[in-house]
Amino acid sequence: MGSKRKQDKPTIARGASKVAAAIAKVYGVVAQNGNVITQCVTSAQQVYKGAKIPKADLSAIADTVARLRGWTPASAGPRKSEVRKILRVYTRLPEAIQAYAKKHDSFTWHTAVKLARCLNREPALKQALALMDQKSEAKEITPLKAVGNAVSKIMNLDTRAAKIMGFQDALESLCETHSIDW
């Protein structure tokens, strides 16, 4: 007779929850200074000792951080992605932070996340730092298109607040009066 094989649940490293707790704590004080990211890196280094963090651990850590911080489902997605990006490059991030800090006066949490994103995209330190310094050129947009974009964003708000609903109704009426498609 065929026995059903139970799905193997991935094994999570014993220290993964420690890493998650450290990152959750860092998110609590993140507005103060971007260098607190070194606490995340140090915690990951203590557990994984320079080895690549397995995908199952990355997910478990990010999920635990989200739970510990009480993130809403809407904000958890991007924030968990930040956690995973940082952890993927935890071995190279301290050196990159030092190199970046030599040229720039300030270093925030958001700068650290951007640096981690650049390191994920470009493994070579010089190229990753060059990506950090690139300025993206804003696309030109006509005033009418800007108004259309603003109207679309407003119409897509997922809220029932009376002021917002009243504003949406007034805006819709205004758009109809002036034959503006949105």
Write the CA distances from 138 to 36, 135, 141, integer angstroms: 31, 9, 9
Alpha-carbon distance 42 to 39, whole Å? Answer: 5
Instruction: List, in order, residues 6 or more apart from 172 with CB less than 8 Å away.
Output: 155
Instruction: List, in order, residues 6 or more apart from 26 with CB less than 8 Å away.
Output: 36, 37, 39, 40
Write the CA distances from 168 to 70, 178, 181, integer angstroms: 31, 15, 14
pLDDT per residue as tens digits for the range 114-162: 999 999 999 899 999 999 888 767 678 788 887 887 777 776 665 556 6
pLDDT band at 34 (very low <50, low <70, confident <90, very high): very low
pLDDT per residue as tens digits for the range 74-122: 889 999 999 999 999 999 998 998 888 888 877 787 888 899 999 999 9
pLDDT of residue 162: 61
